[in-house]
Amino acid sequence: MSTVITGIGELTTNDDELGRLHDAAVVFDEGRVVWVGAAVDAPDADERVDAAGRAVLPGWVDSHTHMVFAGDRTAEFEARMAGEAYAAGGINVTVEATRAASDEQLRANLDRLADEALRGGTTAFETKTGYGLTVDDEVRSARVARSRAESVTFLGAHLVPAGMDADEYLVLATGPMLDAVVPLVDAIDVFCERGAFDEEQSRQVLRAGQTKGLGLRVHGNQLGPGPGVRLAVEHGALSVDHVAFLETEEIGMLADSWSGGARGTVATVLPACDLSTRMPLAPARDLVDAGAVVAIASNANPGTSYTTSMAFCVATAVLQMRLTVEEAVRAATLGGAIALGRDDLGRISVGARADLQMLDAPSVTHLAYRPGVPLTAAVWRRGERVV
């Protein structure tokens, strides 16, 4: 059944030709956008929805989450708020809980978080494995993830599990474990940080993923300066995520990776995680000014960013990272789509998937103007109203 949403006060399209429209309408049919333009010119459709002057924008594309897990890390959060520094080793707490959980428990928790995100306007999300760290547990994590996520990333190189050394574990993670998960995943990721995997170990993971034809991602430059950005750009990774500690040269690398029409590496910033770990906020303003492609994601996970609210991340990017509202919304929609290697998400133009959200506000500016207020009034995913 075709649907027309008319009476849109402000329509954010993320289409360079269409731009931001006022008094607009959108028509979608069979899960795809088929018409965009002025409300007075809107064609008929089977169903008519009057936006009554509200703002409509693409659904959020959350390109970095860790939503397949069990357990709780409230105590760790409280300790950080009391002044304890974040260290990567806390991941092991979640690994133990995830291994002990049943598939049904993992799936129920993922469903809870995915439904929560959907109510907040997230119509597509990526999620990772990485809390199993055995062949069987990584496979079942990938299988659970595939039941809801738009894109699944293998993060076997999340941490060295207790009782193993890094080289021994990487033989497993880049061999039998990788072989087992390949049919279930789209990309491979590595936590290239102190306390996790160093430069050469991270390079080994990325090369193994390339050999299997997977997209590449890097957790990099989160806890301090490091080789993550350089490795990501050298290997043509889809994205490098966190990027809180960047030198001017690394910002230039990320911008230059898109020169000449090349498909470069997206810089994914995770503002909720920066706040939760009390780390410096990623230099999103500098990245945008340099011409890098930036995505904003939630990093939803139980240890360092236990939120699915992309609206919160957008508000933080505006209020504290100095992005404009338009830049932050674009990064949380189209930027996320580019980070996933998708050209049918994150925009409202003919041929795009009909993933849209309507705000109970006349403009996207209200996302930062009224921070913390739940503004999502309606959500359509693949053309079906789901909220």
Structure confidence by residue, pLDDT tens digits, 237-250: 999 999 999 999 99
Domain limits, the chain: 3-59+347-385, 60-339
Residue that has been written with the tokens 């970095």 in this structure: 64
Residue that has been written with the tokens 């193994």 in this structure: 208
Q: If you compute the radius of gyration of the chain from its CA atoms, what whole number of angstroms results?
A: 20
Q: Yes or no: say if 42 and 33 are a contact pair by the CB < 8 Å rule.
A: no
Say if residue 131 carries a ligand binding annotation: yes
- pLDDT tens figures, 340-350: 999 999 999 99
How many CB atoms within 10 Å of residue 255?
19
The predicted model scores a pTM of 0.97
Say if residue 222 carries a ligand binding annotation: yes
Most distant CA atoms of the chain, gap in Å: 67
- CATH classification for the domain delimited by 60-339, as one of 3.40.30.10, 3.40.1010.20, 3.20.20.140, 3.40.50.1820: 3.20.20.140
- pLDDT tens figures, 335-387: 999 999 999 999 999 999 999 999 999 999 999 999 999 999 999 999 999 99
Residue that has been written with the tokens 């925009």 in this structure: 347
User: In this structure, what token pair is assigned to residue 189?
Assistant: 């990721």
Say if residue 219 carries a ligand binding annotation: yes
pLDDT tier at 333 (50, 70, 90 boundaries)?
very high
Say if residue 303 carries a ligand binding annotation: yes
Say if residue 299 carries a ligand binding annotation: yes
Tell me how far apart the alpha carbons of residues 311 and 371 are, in angstroms, rounded to a whole number. 8
Mean pLDDT of the chain: 97
Say if residue 242 carries a ligand binding annotation: no
How many CB atoms within 10 Å of residue 195?
14
- Cα angle for residues 60, 70, 240 (degrees, 5° grid): 45
pLDDT > 90 fraction of the chain, expressed in percent and rounded: 95
User: In this structure, what token pair is assigned to residue 384?
Assistant: 């079906």
User: In this structure, what token pair is assigned to residue 313?
Assistant: 């991340």
- CATH classification for the domain delimited by 3-59+347-385, as one of 1.10.3470.10, 2.30.40.10, 1.10.3720.10, 3.20.10.10: 2.30.40.10
